[in-house]
Chains A and B, each alone.
Chain A
Amino acid sequence: MTTADLAAAAPTDRAEHHYELLRQMLRIRRFEERCVQLYSATKIRGFLHLYIGEEAVAAGAMAALTPADAIVSTYREHGHALARGIAMHSVMAEMYGKATGCSRGRGGSMHLFDAATRFYGGNAIVGGGLPLAVGLALADQMADRPVVTACFFGDGAVAEGEFHECLNLAALWHLPVLFCCENNLYAMGTRIDRAHAVTNLAARAAAYGLSAVDVDGMDVLAVETQTRAAAEFVRAGHGPYFLEFRTYRYRAHSMYDPDRYREKAEIAQWQQHDPIDALVRRMRGDAELDDDALARLDAEIAAEIDAAVQAAEEAPLEPIEDLTRFVYAESRSHDG
């Protein structure tokens, strides 16, 4: 749907659309809540970065993209992966380190990849995905494809040199990149005003010549609308666009983080603006959702998660003999 289609949509279509956004946000939240339990049970290991609180960004932004578009993400990417359409069971299997995982057990939580949905990975080097996104967009531009590359990264990444190099390059070459900055106010324990002399990140992107706006990242409809408009702009060949989503993570940076650097009251304050609660309230108000429908949705999601966990439990491990596979391509001829 284009922005115009969406505005003109019949009420039933609109209700269905809202329901789908709600479904995606709830899938992400419940999936991650289960991940926390599985982490405590040592089924999932390594670093686990939760997206809880930020679901509106992934759900809203992905709804505005097409299957041909490309996604580049970070280590906090479960939400992006699920909303993009990577099957939940293959994400869960990856967290289990199983052969059926979307990265065949080699990546884990921070490195989800999926060629079918053009999901070019969770990248665990802060800022490391931006140059990739610029290059993907360069390829699209050179091949004259009307495709957008959406690149997700945090407020912390804005301090890295790669951020500045990439924004300049993308602007200079008019590349079709949608820079999606998830400003959750913290980079690990460092609050944005302790890391950035200018905390208005959209303003900084604008200084490089990009079209840039900030968006209420707790409002999934605002996220979707703004992303849709930005993607249309980029797709039309007007060059890159920068979206600063103002959002917040409720949980610690990772499971290793004791979360000593902020007040509980601050978290509670943001929870007042919870994106899921807000959409539910709105849909109820517009008679788009009732208790039964919500209960059905909860049950459906719980079943999807149970099935993903069970499949991951039962899945085989990658054989040790295959340890050194995929260090090099298995065929020398890439074009087959």
Chain B
Amino acid sequence: MADTTYREAIREAIREAMRRDERVFLMGEDVGPYGGAFGVSLGLLEEFGPERIRDTPLSESAFVGAGIGAALGGMRPIVEVMTVNFSLLALDQIINNAATLLHMSGGQFAVPLVIRMTTGAGRQLAAQHSHSLEGWYAHIPGLRILAPATVADARGMLWPALRCPDPVLIFEYGGLYNASGELDGGAAVDIDTAAVRRPGSDVTIIGYGGTLSTSLTAADRLADDGIDAEVVDLRTLRPLDDATLLDSVRRTHRAVIVDEGWRSGSLSAEISARITEQAFYDLDAPVARVCSAEVPIPYARHMEQAALPQPAGVVAAVRAALGRSDG
């Protein structure tokens, strides 16, 4: 087992997919000689050439839409959009075309496309580079939404996503690219289920992407206090794996959801609703949520950090759910 970074894991996944299936190609802004805005595709041009590692102009709507068309035409495109904020320029293509074509055509035209993009804050990039809009995409029927939080998922989610006949959006958490972890070969992982990352019995903390580590850190701190938290990593934001979530909550009787998206009308709201709809009588406390403050993410570090979910906020929410007030 070797230590690999999240960035390298994604690169290896792309490399493997391109070797295994010649219909696979990567396109996006500066994915070629530059190596991608976050260095993910560095070195791939040398191996696969400019036809398959294809730089695009700054034309998000055109090249994301072209990815949809190429998928219809039998290719297996991986489209890289630098960040989720920029994907808004391609929203029409993603929502009005990629997500609808199969249904509108009465099942005739599937869109086997993968779109990768960066999400998340924490790097002082201010409002137009820091938003977590994956929960918003998870609102859309027809899209599959993945959020790798570990090196193994970063490595293993791409191949099954490419094999899937539906459009799959993969949200890479920007703060994780340099994170490293152990990689056991390059095994594909399933892209349908949530995972219990830390077993526990007192409370279920639910996170994904960047908030998995926030949740695990909080769980460690709670352990020092004698509170045994289970941590569930959603992994797939749409369709949600209700079974894993509910199984956990039925055992722990409490749930705290940690989401870097905003609270109102959010993924965390959806999860909370599902828990109360399906496990209301198993709950010993109201479902709690720790989300980003409802503000465009500010630049200054102290304000940005105050806007984001922090382990301390998760610890406080868990203690409140357990009726253990601080003080």
Tell me the A residues contacting B by CB distance below 8 Å: 45-47, 97-98, 103, 105-108, 110-111, 123-128, 156-157, 159-162, 187-190, 194-196, 260-261, 317-318, 320, 323-324, 327
Write out, one digit per residue, whether chain B residues 283-312 have a CB within 8 A of any chain A CB (1) or not (0): 000000000011110111111001100000
Given contacts A195-B57, A195-B58, A196-B57, contact A97 B85 (CB under 8 A): no
Q: How many A-B residue pairs have CB under 8 A?
A: 119
Contact of B124 among A45, A161, A196, A327 (CB under 8 A): A45
Q: Is the CB of B299 within 8 A of A159?
A: no
Q: Counting CB contacts under 8 A, is B278 at the interface?
A: no
Q: Is the CB of B129 within 8 A of A261?
A: no
Contact of B125 among A47, A126, A188, A190 (CB under 8 A): A47
Q: Chain B residue with minimal CB distance to A162?
A: B89
Contacts of B19 in A (CB 8 A): none
Contact of B295 among A160, A188, A323 (CB under 8 A): A323
Q: Chain A residue with minimal CB distance to B62?
A: A161
Q: Is the CB of B124 within 8 A of A190?
A: no
Contacts of B85 in A (CB 8 A): 125
Q: Is the CB of B126 within 8 A of A110?
A: yes
Contact of A46 among B58, B123, B302 (CB under 8 A): B123
Contacts of A194 in B (CB 8 A): 55
Q: Chain B residue with minimal CB distance to A97?
A: B300
Question: Within the assembled complex, what's the spacing in Å between the Cα atoms of A38 and B99?
Answer: 46
Q: Counting CB contacts under 8 A, is B128 at the interface?
A: yes
Contacts of B56 in A (CB 8 A): 195
Q: Is the CB of A159 within 8 A of B59?
A: yes
Q: Is the CB of B306 within 8 A of A323?
A: yes
Contacts of B124 in A (CB 8 A): 45-46, 97, 108
Contact of A107 among B34, B299, B302 (CB under 8 A): B299
Question: Within the assembled complex, what's the spacing in Å between the Cα atoms of A327 and B303?
Answer: 14
Contact of A105 among B60, B293, B298 (CB under 8 A): B298
Tell me the B residues contacting A by CB distance below 8 Å: 29-30, 33-35, 37, 55-62, 85-86, 89, 123-129, 293-296, 298-303, 306-307
Question: Within the assembled complex, what's the spacing in Å between the Cα atoms of A320 and B298?
Answer: 11
B33, B58, B307 — most chain A CB neighbours (10 Å): B58
Nearest chain B CB to A185's CB is how many angstroms away?
14
Query: Given A159-B59, A161-B62, 6 other A-B contacts at CB below 8 A?
Result: A46-B125, A125-B85, A156-B58, A161-B89, A190-B29, A323-B293
Given contacts A110-B126, A111-B127, A161-B89, contact A260 B34 (CB under 8 A): yes
Given contacts A108-B126, A125-B85, A323-B306, contact A156 B57 (CB under 8 A): yes
Contacts of B123 in A (CB 8 A): 45-46
Contact of B34 among A46, A98, A261, A327 (CB under 8 A): A261
Q: Chain A residue with minimal CB distance to B56?
A: A195
Nearest chain A CB to B228's CB is how many angstroms away?
32
Q: Is the CB of A320 within 8 A of B33?
A: no
